[in-house]
Structure formats: structure tokens, C-alpha cells
Amino acid sequence: MSKAVSVVLVGCGAPLKSMGWYHATQILREDSDIAARLDFIVEPWFMSEAGKSSPGGAEFAEFKKTLEASKGVKFFEHVRDVPRAEDGVKRLAIISARTSDNPSLFAGALDIGCHAIFLEKPGAPSVAELEAMRDNAKKVGVSVFMGFNKNVSKFVTKAREYAKTRPGTKVTFLHNNNYDESPESLGECFERNSEGMLKNMAIHELALAVTYYGVGVDTIETVSADKQYSCCKTLKGPSSGKAFTDFTKLKFTIKTKDGNELSIAADRCGGDDSVSIVEDSAGKELIRFTMPDDEDAETIKDAEERIGGAMPYFYVQDPDYATLKKRVAKAVAEGNPSSAEGVATIDVAVETLKVAEYLTPLLMEQLK
């Protein structure tokens, strides 16, 4: 397949551990059907003097050496050092860095002539910063796609299609992670994801609510927390020693002014899967769909065999992240952003972040 789109990966991170690195491995596969080639990698941390000697620095250096020799990929510490795109070259930036760094990295991507940007969730630390990023991109005609992989997941599509043909049914989207239930493990999680569950782990489910159910701050009629299921704790972060308050488990139901209803659940210690559950009006479960499913087993097994030792969730999400990049690259190559079916835009991300900021204090108050 033609690798028509030139990619600048911003925020590679540590091999086997970081999503940016996994984006790179998917694009570099010889048999990939993603219409893109990886030309540049920007890694601010591991290419800095402090980062070179930090944990993961040696592994990154080896990864860099290998790609420079075998693929001709060029590496830079700063986005500003990447040469501007040449005439006729369609350039896509994939930004997969710390959320706090995204606004400046995003501005840099605009400055080096990117035609489109693929931005990992939640996009920015605050609504105001994400809105500014969106507006600056629109001024220069740059399309921005978001890495909400569940927007293109089969388990979501199947549940929506099943419920659509059965009036009165309700869908619950459940997101599980596999942290240990100890205060030490969850404290580390709270500290590393200090933006909170709704801006991090459950942001994917909120994006589904915004995209497919018309949920927005102005359209929400009621929000009800499931107090029996949910749990909110204050735990100490191991690095800073600071106290962080967040949800370990959370389930809530949203009803909109237009009559739409759905539930969202997230459990930091629930396992590795994500599930969509369809219930009838009496609350009886009719069917459930899971990610990964049997159809994904072969793809996941192949990913595990090709790349051993990576974070388990990379393998689980491999099919969906490949689909996202395939659709985005095709849209960029054709110059038709709207053809990226199901892929969330930055407008969806802005509304999703607004909903997350609106719901967090409301749900914490309900659980007191």
C-alpha cells in the first residue's frame, strides 16, 4: 500500500511502556495497511540530558539507533527542530505525550506545517487550553483527530445496533483496569493520573456519550451515581507524598433533555476488558459485548508474538488503534477529513472534557 502520509510522532516515550512507542511500531510494520510512513520522532524527555540517564533512557537510545539505521527515521528533542513539510507532502503529527505538555507541542506541530494532528486523550489539562488549541488549528486549516479508540470499537457498535432495534433498552459501557486494590498501587495510580478518573480512564466512555448519545453540559437533565457500586478515596502518592482524591470505582446514569439514557461504569481493579451491556426497561440483561472478543484473539496473539513484554493493554487495543490510524491516514491522504468514519474530532474532545469537569464534583458530592 502507498505510504502517502508523512508522520511526525511527538512523544515516543519508553519502548514497551508508552503509547507513543506503540503508535510507532504499528506504523512501521511492513504489512501495515496504514497509509503512512514514520519520518520523524520527537522525544523531549529521553533526548534531554536528564532523560538519557533516567529509567528507560538506555532502551530508548537503542530503539533510536535501530530505527535510524534500519528505517531512516530522524529524531529530535524539540518539535521546532523538525524541518517544515516540503511542498506536496501531506504531514500528520501524532501527539502522544504528557497531557500537561500537549498545548506547547500542539503549537509546535502547527508551526512545522502539519496538515492534520492526531491527539491523544484528553488533549489538554483544561477546557480553555483545548479550546484555544482547536481555534488555532482552525485558523490555519488543520484538522484535529482524537485518539478515542472506543469510538471505532466493535463492542460499542454492536451494542448500539442491538439497542437501536429494541425500544426501551438501555446501554451500560463498563471500562476495567487491572490495578491491585492496595493503597500503594491505587495511590500511585491517583498520582500518575492526577487529572482524575473522568478526565483519564473514563474519558473514552464520556466521548461515546458525547458522540453517539448527544450528551453535553447543556443537554444533561439528570446524573445519578450508583452508590452501592461506586467508591471514592483519598490516597497518598508515593513520589510526592501528596494526598489525591479520586474514584476507585464509579458508576452513574445520565439522562438527557432529549430522552437519551445511558450508564457508564469504571473499575480500576476490575480486569483488562471493556464491556457494553444492554438491558431491558426492567433492568434485565439481554446481551453483552466485550473488548477483546473472539474475533480479536488472533490479532492480539499476533501482536504479543511480534512484540513481547509490552504493556498488556497495548495488545488488547491493537486492533482499534490500528483502525483509528488507518482511517485518519486515509482521510489525510485524500484531503477529506470528514471521511474518517467514527473518529472523534477535537470538537468532540472539547465537549467531552467539559462534561468530565462538570461531572467530577457533582458525582463526588453524591457519594459523600
pLDDT digits (tens, 9 = 90+) for 235-285: 999 889 999 999 999 999 999 999 999 999 999 999 888 999 999 999 999
Mean pLDDT on 329-346: 94
Pairing of strands 231-236, 5-10: unpaired
Q: How many helices (H) and strands (E) does the chain have?
A: 11, 13
**Is the per-residue pLDDT at 65 higher than 90?**
yes
Mean pLDDT on 22-30: 93
Q: What's the pLDDT band for 308 if we cut at 50, 70, 90?
A: confident
What pLDDT, on a 0 to 100 scale, did the predictor assign at position 301?
86
In sequence order, which residues have a C-beta less than 8 Å from that of residue 259 and are 6 or more positions away? none
What pLDDT, on a 0 to 100 scale, did the predictor assign at position 62?
97
**Is the per-residue pLDDT at 358 higher than 50?**
yes
pLDDT in tens, 162-202: 999 999 999 999 999 989 999 999 999 999 888 899 999 99
What pLDDT, on a 0 to 100 scale, did the predictor assign at position 2?
63
CA angle 304, 205, 256 (to 5 degrees): 165
Q: How far apart are CA 71 and CA 37, in angstroms?
A: 10
pLDDT in tens, 200-234: 999 999 999 999 999 999 999 999 999 999 999 99
- Residues of the chain with pLDDT > 70, as a percent, come to 99
Calculate the alpha carbon distances from 260 to 173, 210, 255 in Å.
Answer: 14, 11, 6
Which contacts (CB < 8 Å, 24+ apart) does range 191-194 have? 191/237, 191/238, 191/239, 191/240, 191/242, 191/244, 193/246, 194/237, 194/244
- Secondary element (H or E) of residue 221: strand 220-225
Q: How many CB atoms lie within 10 A of CB 156?
A: 24
Q: How far apart are CA 336 and CA 150, in angstroms?
A: 22
Q: What's the pLDDT band for 1 if we cut at 50, 70, 90?
A: very low
pTM equals 0.90
Amino acid at 105: L
Residue 255 contacts residue 222 (beta carbons within 8 Å): yes
Mean pLDDT on 292-305: 84
